[in-house]
Amino acid sequence: TAGHDVIDIRALGKHGYFTFDPGFLSTASCESTITFINGSQGILQHRGYAIDDLAKNASYLEVCYLLLYGELPNKAQYAEFSRIVSEHTMLNEQLTRCLQGFRRDAHPMAIMCGMVGTMSAFYHDSLDIANERHREIAAYRLISKMPTIAAMCFKYNVGQPFMYPRNDLSYAENFLHMMFATPCAEYTPNPVVAKAMDRIFTLHADHEQNASTSTVRLAGSSGANPFACIAAGIASLWGPAHGGANEACLKMLEEIGSVERIPEFIDRAKDKDDPFRLMGFGHRVYKNHDPRATVMRETCHEVLDSLNIKDPLLDVAMELERIALEDSYFVEKKLYPNVDFYSGIILKAVGIPTNMFTVIFALSRTVGWIAHWNEMMSDEGQKIGRPRQLYVGEIDKSFNGIEDR
Ligand code: ACO
């Protein structure tokens, strides 16, 4: 309960009482054993393991296994899990043709929502959600095919042929291959870049009941199929206050442009008449620091050093962070850089276009969504999610026919 008092409202609800909690600031919607966050101390743990241990020492697929099965895999379990994930990476040609029905300039997140929802029209053999094995196959399909679909969105946008997945590569290397190889040019991923990509996936893998995960759970609580639920999660992630923040953050750094202009933007962020906010700053839960941002910052430097990139945006980011962390407005409101503050700079350095940033977040978070969905489906006492509302409109009005209005 992380220091909060928990009131069980199940009994109260029957007698007509309920809590009014806009934005669910203090309402727990479920019990979970997947992810622990202590926002005031900046702690994030998956199944009891600290995020920085996982991000630095485990691969993304080990973390996927951990989230899905509750414990880190041994060597044999890892080899088998990796084999199964790599076997499901191909996309059926019929689904490829669906993708080609989108406008070429469609936002890749729009294509992702559509394609993942479309998977439920295709994989009928994993839709019996009461069957644990079907749920497991659906999880494999989603984790395996998300990089393929994501890379296809990019290739489609830029007008290049799709690249087939290569199962001899790691999860991150394969994604980079599908993004950047062409039929006439191999892509050999720089190991530092591949490691950074894997870390980005891990750092975004799960974050308990954020907006998109809650959306997946709410959609799933009605018995909807996993592909439809994950499509709902992708839609929720898209917004700039959530997964869209990394794209918005990079655009903001570009708009600031130089270190000299930072004070102007800091002032704007503090001005209550200006809707501008410092993107990549603040978090609903972390009121100390975002532990993912610390690892992301280190990784950002590793990538830029390894690629020998001198990015002026990094100078702007570092100075913005320094000034904001000394500014009483940000200190008092406990606004610290979040995970999205540095991820955009890394992705830009790797050559990934801005409109793909949230797609990469969606790809990474799929395992968290599916682990939560599966946890909920395994709970026999699970109920349909049905928040109440506080009605503040008019009541008991007399009805007039249309000719009398
Ligand atoms: N810049 C300037 N002021 C801010 C910022 C910011 N980035 N974030 C919050 N504030 C201010 C608000 O104006 C508000 O001030 P007030 O109390 O004087 O009205 C106060 O801090 C609290 O803000 P809320 O919006 O109430 O906090 P909430 O917990 O609801 O929002 C959120 C968290 C949405 C992340 C917010 O900090 C924000 O919009 N940040 C920028 C977007 C962003 O980076 N999102 C990524 C989140 S991480 C993720 O999804 C992986």
**Ligand 1: does its nearest atom lie under 6 Å from the Cβ of 287?**
no
**Would you tell me how many other CB atoms lie within 10 Å of the CB of residue 82?**
19
Proportion of the chain in helix, strand, coil states, percent, rounded to 5: 55, 5, 40
Residue 18: per-residue pLDDT? 81
Q: With a 6 A CB cut-off, is 242 part of the ligand 1 pocket?
A: yes
Residue 369, Cα to own-chain centre: how many angstroms?
9
> Looking at residue 3, what is its pLDDT?
47
Q: Which tens digits make up the pLDDT trace of 389-404? A: 899 999 999 999 999 9
Question: Which positions are annotated as active-site residues?
Answer: 283, 340
pTM above 0.80, yes or no: yes
Q: Is the CB of 338 under 6 A from ligand 1?
A: yes
Given ligand 1 and candidates 249, 274, 284, which is best to mutate, with the most ligand atoms within 8 Å of its CB?
284
CA of 354 to the centre of ligand 1 (A): 22
Alpha-carbon gap, residue 369 to 207, rounded angstroms: 9
Q: Which pLDDT belongs to residue 13?
A: 55
Quote ipTM for the complex.
0.91
- Token look-up 């509750």 returns 70
- Ligand 1 atom 35, closest CA: 283
* Ligand 1 proximity of 279 Cβ (cutoff 6 Å): yes
CA-to-CA dists, residue 271 to 37, 264, 268, 329, angstroms:
31, 11, 5, 10
Q: Is 400 left (phi over 0), alpha (psi -120 to 50) or beta?
A: beta
Amino acid at 18: F
Place of tokens 């080990």: 62
How many whole angstroms from 11 Cα to the centroid of ligand 1?
Answer: 34
> What letter represents residue 194's amino acid?
A
Task: State the pLDDT at residue 6.
Answer: 57
Helices (H), 181-276: 191-203, 211-220, 226-237, 245-256, 262-270
What separation in Å is there between the alpha carbon of 297 and the centre of ligand 1? 20
Of 116, 145, 139, 395, nearest in space to 236 by CA: 116
The end-to-end CA distance of the chain, in Å, is 54
Index of the ligand 1 atom closest to the CA of residue 341? 44
Q: How many Å is the maximal CA-CA distance in the chain?
A: 77
- In angstroms, the CA 42 to CA 78 distance is 30
Check pocket membership of 166 for ligand 1, CB cut-off 6 A: no
Please identify which residue in the block is written with the tokens 């979970």.
Answer: 32
Give the pair of three-digit tokens for residue 292: 């993912």
**Cα(168) to centroid(ligand 1), Å:** 42
The region that residue 337 occupies, defined by phi over 0 for left and psi between -120 and 50 for alpha, beta otherwise, is beta
Two structure tokens written together for 76: 């044999």
Cα 86 from chain centre: 21
Closest CA to 351 of 120, 185, 189: 189
For the chain, residues with pLDDT lower than 50 are: 1-4
Find the 289 Cα to ligand 1 centroid distance in Å. 14
Q: Report the SS3 class of residue 103.
A: coil
Rounded Cα gap, residues 292 and 302, in angstroms: 16
Pick the closest to residue 130 from 118, 141, 138, 119 (CA basis).
138
- CA 87/CA 348 separation, integer angstroms: 30
> What was the pLDDT predicted at 8?
58
CA distance 294 to 296: 5
Nearest Cα neighbor of 152 from 83, 222, 224, 93 is: 93
Is there an atom of ligand 1 within 6 Å of 282 CB?
Answer: yes
